[in-house]
Amino acid sequence: MVAVGPIPRHRTHFSRLGSGPLLLVLCFVWSCSGQTEPSRLPEVITVVSGDGQSATVGEQIIGVFQVRDPRGPVTGAVVTFLVTEGGGETDLSRATTASDGRVQVRWRLGSEARNQRLVARTESGHEAVLGATALGVAPAQISVTPSRLSGFRGNIVDSTIWVLVVDAFGLPVVGEPVNFRVVSGNGMLAGPIISTNGDGLARLAGWRLGPEPGVQALQVSSGQALREIEVMAVEPPPTHFNIDVRFVGEVSAEESTAVHRARKMWESVLLSELPDVTLLQSPDPSCPVQSGETIDDVLVFVSFGEIDRSQGGTLGLANTCLGRAETGLPLVGWFVLDSEFILEGGWELEDVARHEFGHVLGMTRSGPWARQTGGPIFAGEGARQAYMLAGAVSLPLPAGCPGIPQPLSCDGFPPVDPSSSHWREDVLGTELMTPTGSVGPEPLSAITVLAFRDLGYVVDEARAEPFTLPALLSSLVPPSLRRARDRVQTVPVQFVNQAGRIVR
């Protein structure tokens, strides 16, 4: 047997493992010895320059930020940029800092003249804010719609006039005063200075043309921008509107005279010649007209008798019972007057008759009126302009529309009585179509006449009676005289087409 000496284990170990395992072992021993790689120090980002600048909207400004930690500027830090107020855009969404820890960003301000804000954020979540004030630029251009207008002399123009104000960048100018001035025609304006809204738009409150036919002009200006609007004011056509009145039961000469005077007043204001309709069917018995009858414009049945004298009393009762299917305008209606109660209370029989005709002809709970009365307002453009011209622009602010702080919060539209087909009495006072009667003048205002234009009639607003919104509103009518004037009867309304057939 041959004796073998001790084997040098350490030498055999290294010769077998080679250099690779040795490195692994050394790395393991180093990591377990308690030593760690140096951690990233806390960093902050600050604004170096560009904060608090003022520039026009759409203009570009420069901001410089720096990232630092306790050892000094940080090189290669990633910074992201986000506009948080005012809009606009940056040339970079993210960037890395240079050797001096700085990064530069170009920021084009948004289109709104207001304080704007840009946030720079590091990957660790630290932020710095760059603030700027965007200034409005002078209006460079104004445009007006519609480009063509028409109207009768002495009447409010038949379209809404909108003015768009833009700057040199083509961006809407917000909060910019727009001036309106009549330069020919001797017309009348409501609210001659209107500020643009958030879309750069201003809506003219109202323009009533002068009394003479011919070209009339309105100048619109904002800053150095100027435009002129022309309209050809024409004579209104002669009225061909016909109200056929049929009395039911006994009628006195005084009653007949009052009703026919009221009829003529409405026939002078409404100019429309509506198509004749020959009925091929008889309507519901509550509408006393027969098959085979031909109706020229409107047929109204009128009767007299006691209605309801309790709780202040009812002076009249009215409704439409048959309407035109194509337009919703009335074809047949009726009203009842308590003439004895009216005369005993000191009211004018003619005024009450004029009021009831107003309901039959359109201010009722069906047809176009119902479609135009959105919530607490009548949403017709003609009535809105007439309301503003009657003084709503400077109206003292009373209780206002139901659920809305004040009448002008109705966006300039006249407020309606939510429970009936009337104007709000606490706003329009003793106007003819408010719900309660009063002793004294009850004018048919341009507000009501233009509301009928909004319903679909051709009208001559120049024949309306003078009316200004009362300054003291409901205090003008003594409580003892403010009794219920009428009720608009809620009955089914049928509609007939031009061929004379009932379709709904």
Rounded Cα gap, residues 435 and 420, in angstroms: 8
Number of domains the chain is built from? 3
Residue 35 resides in a domain = no
Would you tell me how many other CB atoms lie within 10 Å of the CB of residue 438?
20
Residue 78 resides in a domain = yes
Rounded Cα gap, residues 338 and 296, in angstroms: 28
**Pick from 298, 246, 243, 247: which is nearest to 265 by CA?**
243
Task: Compute φ and ψ for 148, nearest 5 degrees.
Answer: -125, 135
Q: What is the pLDDT along the chain (504 residues), one digit of tens a residue?
A: 334 344 343 333 333 334 444 333 333 333 444 444 445 678 999 999 999 999 988 889 999 999 999 999 999 999 999 999 988 899 999 999 999 999 999 999 987 778 999 999 999 999 999 999 988 777 778 898 887 888 999 999 988 899 999 887 787 888 889 999 999 999 999 888 888 988 899 998 889 999 999 999 999 999 888 999 999 999 999 989 999 999 999 999 999 999 999 999 999 999 988 999 999 988 888 888 889 999 999 999 999 988 877 766 788 888 899 989 999 899 999 999 888 888 887 788 899 999 999 999 998 877 787 777 766 778 888 998 999 888 876 654 433 444 443 433 455 677 787 666 888 887 888 899 988 877 678 999 999 999 999 999 999 999 999 998 876 444 444 444 444 566 666 667 889 899 889 887
Rounded Cα gap, residues 409 and 415, in angstroms: 10
* Residues of the domain holding 157: 141-234
Domain end, chosen from 135, 160, 184, is at 135
* Cβ atoms of 389 and 353 closer than 8 Å: no
Together in a domain, 100 and 218: no
Residue 504 resides in a domain = no
Angle between helix 349-361 and helix 253-269 axes, rounded to 10 deg:
50
Q: What is the CATH number of the domain that holds 106?
A: 2.60.40.10
Residue 25 resides in a domain = no
Phi-psi region of 223 (alpha: psi -120 to 50; beta: other; left: phi over 0): left
Domain end, chosen from 234, 258, 277, is at 234
Rounded Cα gap, residues 170 and 388, in angstroms: 31
Give the HSE-up count for residue 21: Cα atoms under 13 Å, Cβ half-sphere.
6
* CA 306 vs CA 271, 314, 339, 493: distances in Å: 34, 9, 8, 24
Together in a domain, 398 and 269: yes
Residue 13 resides in a domain = no
Residue 4 resides in a domain = no
Together in a domain, 251 and 372: yes
Q: What DSSP string describes 191-225?
A: -SEEE--TTSEEE--EEEPPSS-EEEEEEEEETTE
Beta bridge partners of 74: none
Together in a domain, 149 and 131: no
Residue 145 resides in a domain = yes
Rounded Cα gap, residues 300 and 304, in angstroms: 13
Together in a domain, 322 and 392: yes
Residue 343 resides in a domain = yes
